[in-house]
Amino acid sequence: MTRPRIVIVGGGNGGLLAAHRLADHADVTILEAGVDPGDPVPYEFLHEHAFPEHDWEYTNEDSGHHLVRGRVLGGGSSVNAAAGSRGQPAGFEAWGEGWRWDDLQPAMRALETDEQFGSEPYHGDSGPIRITRLEPGPLDLAFYEASRSLGHEACPDHNAPGTQGYGPWPTNRVDGGRWGALAAIAPLVRDRVTLRPSTVVDRIVVEDGRAVGVEVDGGEEIIPADLVIVSAGAYGSPEVLWRSGIDAPQIGEGLQDHPWVMMNVLARDEDDVMARPVSGSLLRAGVADDPSDEFQVFPFSTWLYDRSAPRNSYSVSVALMQPESRGRVFQGADGGTRISLAHLKEQTDLDRMAVAVSRTAELIDAMAETGIVTVPDDAWWKQGDLKESLRERVETYNHPVASCGIDRTVDRRLNVIGVEGVKVIDASVMPRIPDGGPNLVTMAIGWIGGGIVLEDLGL
């Protein structure tokens, strides 16, 4: 029996996880525009946090801010902070049949080996993605104590369903290095698929309403396909679809991201910062004491991401985890990709973000009382109109999702509406943003999406 030919556009979390499930049943080709750093993974892709040479160079039209997106095998999970958070069960209810919390959990468990809580029924203990919690540094301990003093509860496992409070980040790291799709999944896939790095996709070739192949590298080659899976991410997947002339509904519409601001202070000692510069502590709490409306506080070393910052700079970042505002990915007049994140466009988001920042300012003051950090005299959150400052300062948590959402651009089995033989399997299909990071959730979508393909093809 002839094996189906499946071409996957993009080698990020969604694409690699789908390939992992499909490789033994089909002839799979992964087309990745970035490089494959190889196995073993070079040190910098495990430990560094600035990759200008491996970035798509997107910009938020609203603010002019750079939007980090990894142009490398593994996608965003090769360049991000390796957060291993899932979000709250209630946040997935709006995803609907087949995609709610209970539907996603088997994939979550299959993917992970949780080093501290693997024996719990909601965790896995034998998957390829290692989840751990790092030992706290001095600033993490001060952060915990300040959180406790303000009435927050201790939270040893931020992935326990329904929990909130302060505690260590769940992070996919091994020996301090990120352990995402590049380190954990690519080695399981390379010898079972045709992997083509540094290959730019021009368009999906559609004949008589059905995809028949993918054109690459300026039209030099058409790779035949029985199924095309688009896994180019929340910014790239809409671009691939419209560049292919596919007239699916609402391509690029409904984009969501967590609005995020940094409240920078100075640590007493740079060694306190660098003892645990990232993936240390996390606070999750309800806005205005509403547990169903969550914000996150995540402190980290500013210098890791901005080498012009002092090494003792400590960024206490705040994100609103259930925003209502939606932006879009669209084509500019020149045909290029344009992105509007529309952060805080809805008044309710602005109001709730102001509450979250005010509550975080109390936490920072509690830390400052111990002398471990100093709040600058010109701290922006203490100057003028807070909401106006938020409009000017809001940035991205680098969690873009929902630009090709289920029941909008794709159906519930991830088929692109209006064309045969094309699915989207990545963060863009999320109906709305979860109140955790999309890293693990996108891997789960890849796992489930690969299973859907196997069912659809009768494999």
User: pLDDT by residue for the chain (459 residues), tens digit each?
Assistant: 689 999 999 999 999 999 999 999 999 999 999 999 999 999 999 998 778 899 999 999 999 999 999 999 999 999 988 889 999 999 999 999 999 999 999 999 999 999 999 999 999 999 999 999 999 999 999 999 999 999 999 999 999 999 999 999 999 998 889 999 999 999 999 999 999 999 999 999 999 999 999 999 898 899 999 999 999 999 999 999 999 999 999 999 999 999 999 999 999 999 999 999 998 999 999 998 788 899 999 999 999 888 899 999 999 999 999 999 999 999 998 888 999 999 999 999 999 999 999 999 999 999 999 999 999 999 999 999 999 999 999 999 999 999 999 999 999 999 999 999 999 999 999 999 999 999 999 999 999 999 999 999 998
| pLDDT at residue 50, rounded to an integer | 77
| In 34-123, beta strands by DSSP E | 58-59, 66-67, 112-114
116 and 224 inside one domain: yes
The binding site for FAD comprises 72, 201
Determine how many CB atoms are found less than 10 A away from the CB of residue 238.
Answer: 29
Domain around 314: 135-168+259-320+344-393
The binding site for substrate comprises 397
74 and 163 inside one domain: no
97 and 181 inside one domain: yes
33 and 146 inside one domain: no
Does residue 148 sit within a domain? yes
Q: Is the pTM of this model over 0.95?
A: yes
304 and 430 inside one domain: no
382 and 364 inside one domain: yes
Residue 118 class from Cβ within 10 Å (0-12 exposed, 13-18 middle, 19+ buried)?
A: middle
The binding site comprises 72, 201, 397
Domains identified in the chain, total number: 2
Does residue 226 sit within a domain? yes
Q: What is the DSSP letter of 328?
A: E
Q: What is the CATH number of the domain that holds 409?
A: 3.50.50.60
384 and 406 inside one domain: no
ω into 249 cis (within 30 of 0): no
| pLDDT at residue 51, rounded to an integer | 86
Q: Contact at 8 Å (CB) between 104 and 441? A: yes
| pLDDT at residue 175, rounded to an integer | 87
| pLDDT at residue 1, rounded to an integer | 64
236 and 120 inside one domain: yes
| pLDDT at residue 305, rounded to an integer | 86
217 and 284 inside one domain: no
188 and 119 inside one domain: yes
87 and 9 inside one domain: yes
278 and 389 inside one domain: yes
Beta bridge partners of 423: 229, 415
